[in-house]
Amino acid sequence: MTQTTNNLAAYIWSLADLLRGDFKQSQYGRIILPFTLLRRLEGVLEESKETVLAQYDKVQKMDVSEEAQEKLLIRATSGLSFFNISRMDLSKLGESGIKDNLESYIQGFSRDAREIFEHFKFAEFIAQLNDANLLYKIVQKVRQTDLSPQTISNHDMGKVFEELIRRFAESSNDTAGEHFTPRDIVHLTTSLVFMEDDDALTKPGIIRTIYDPTAGTGGFLSEGMEYVEKLNPQAVMRAYGQELNPESYAICKADMLIKGQEVNNIKLGNTLSNDQLYADKFDYMLSNPPFGVDWKKIEKDIKDENTLKGFNGRFGPGLPLCQDSCRL
């Protein structure tokens, strides 16, 4: 990380100073991460907000489905794939009634954006912060943090997310390797995979797909898109991924949302037992599997696929040996 992004991550994490005593250390990240995402989404939407609100006034008078309404509103965002129809923002929530105002603000997001906060169980933490008389103080500090694209690029915002996830993993005593892959390793791996295609990737009209079955917060997906963009700004890289951890999934989905990707291509679930992209094919696959994680809970599903489908399934080449425990 650069000094600037490292300082920003440290400043955002200093929200923990307000949480000490009322929340467990393992809960800090579940509050800090969604607030950071909320502030980032708010910054990204700022330029198109008034246009979207004007369009929403028109859409409300139309006799169309919710899905059609979303499509009409997305057109008003100037290239984004999400919106917010609330006239609120973090600076307008006030102190009296802040809990209800904040929840209403979040409900104003389009469906894919709302889902991010649902996976964080953000509403539960909003209620707990309100009960502890901390919600207004947290909101005031968050809203003073400028996370707009004009101030911090998608690339640097990804680094900030990485650092926040690392701190979250440490504070909750999780294994950091299960949550993120260091940026240097991501960059090296991506370069090794893509470098053989450098000539092809510079051609006009090129479209490629990248897949990560253990996507985490989307580090490999973001790095792959960034690598191709540097070679050819007109190239199109479509990202696909699946992630088991809800918080990591939420961050990955938010990152893809901000970058204009089709976020329906990012799935939540266990790739081994419930591969939701099994019928798709991709040009590139990058992954850091969660080595050391037990797969005992899904052992039967994997063995059944191996036995019943053989090489027509995913485990035709064989399975890891299981002794006292099964690990990837």
The CATH number covering residue 138 comes to: 1.20.1260
Do 32 and 9 lie in one domain? The reply is yes
The lowest-confidence range among 5-14, 114-123, 157-166, 187-196 is: 157-166
Burial 2-12 (b: 16+ CB within 10 A, else e): eeebeebbeeb
Do 162 and 186 lie in one domain? The reply is no
Judged against a pLDDT cut of 90, whether residue 216 lies above it is answered with no
Cα separation, 277 vs 271, in Å, equals 9
Helix (H, G, I), strand (E, B) or coil at 272: coil
**What would the two tokens of residue 37 be?**
């995402």
Do 60 and 46 lie in one domain? The reply is yes
What percent of the chain has a predicted confidence (pLDDT) above 90?
A: 57
Looking at residue 170, its pLDDT comes to 77
Residue 308 within a domain: no
**CATH number of domain containing 248:** 3.40.50.150
**What would the two tokens of residue 143 be?**
């809203």
Among residues 137, 171, 205, the one where a domain terminates is 171
Looking at residue 277, its pLDDT comes to 96
Do 25 and 152 lie in one domain? The reply is yes
Do 61 and 82 lie in one domain? The reply is yes
Residue 58 within a domain: yes
Do 112 and 128 lie in one domain? The reply is yes
The tally of CA atoms less than 13 A away on the side-chain side of residue 108 is 22
Do residues 256 and 218 make contact, with C-beta atoms less than 8 angstroms apart?
A: yes
The lowest-confidence range among 68-72, 84-88, 96-100, 142-146 is: 68-72
Residue 321 within a domain: no
Q: How confident is the model at residue 323 (pLDDT cuts 50, 70, 90)?
A: very low
Q: Note the pLDDT tens digit of each residue in 160-215.
A: 877 887 788 777 755 444 556 777 888 899 999 999 999 999 999 999 999 999 99
Judged against a pLDDT cut of 70, whether residue 115 lies above it is answered with yes
The lowest-confidence range among 3-7, 215-219, 292-296 is: 292-296
What residues make up the domain containing 181?
176-290
Looking at residue 257, its pLDDT comes to 83
Residue 25 within a domain: yes
Do 106 and 153 lie in one domain? The reply is yes
Stretch 39-54: mean pLDDT? 94
Do 154 and 226 lie in one domain? The reply is no
CB contact set of 303 (below 8 Å; sequence gap of 6+): 319
CB contact set of 158 (below 8 Å; sequence gap of 6+): 217, 218, 219, 222, 255
Residue 320 within a domain: no
Q: How many domains does the chain have?
A: 2
Q: How confident is the model at residue 85 (pLDDT cuts 50, 70, 90)?
A: very high
Q: What is the mean pLDDT of the chain?
A: 88
Helix (H, G, I), strand (E, B) or coil at 266: strand
DSSP calls for 106-162: HHTB-HHHHHHHHHTTHHHHHHHHHHTT-HHHHHHHHHTS---TTTS-HHHHHHHHH
Helix (H, G, I), strand (E, B) or coil at 300: helix
Do 16 and 151 lie in one domain? The reply is yes
Stretch 234-254: mean pLDDT? 90
Among residues 290, 305, 323, the one where a domain terminates is 290
Residue 298 within a domain: no
Do 19 and 119 lie in one domain? The reply is yes
Do residues 116 and 247 make contact, with C-beta atoms less than 8 angstroms apart?
A: no
**What would the two tokens of residue 315 be?**
């485990």
Judged against a pLDDT cut of 60, whether residue 325 lies above it is answered with no
Looking at residue 256, its pLDDT comes to 86
Residue 303 within a domain: no
Of 58-62, 67-71, 80-84, 137-141, give the range with the top mean pLDDT. 137-141
Stretch 221-248: mean pLDDT? 91
Stretch 70-75: mean pLDDT? 91
Do 43 and 140 lie in one domain? The reply is yes
Stretch 236-264: mean pLDDT? 88
Q: How confident is the model at residue 322 (pLDDT cuts 50, 70, 90)?
A: low
Residue 319 within a domain: no
Q: How confident is the model at residue 292 (pLDDT cuts 50, 70, 90)?
A: low
Do 248 and 216 lie in one domain? The reply is yes
Amino acid identity of 217?
T
Among residues 116, 147, 171, the one where a domain terminates is 171
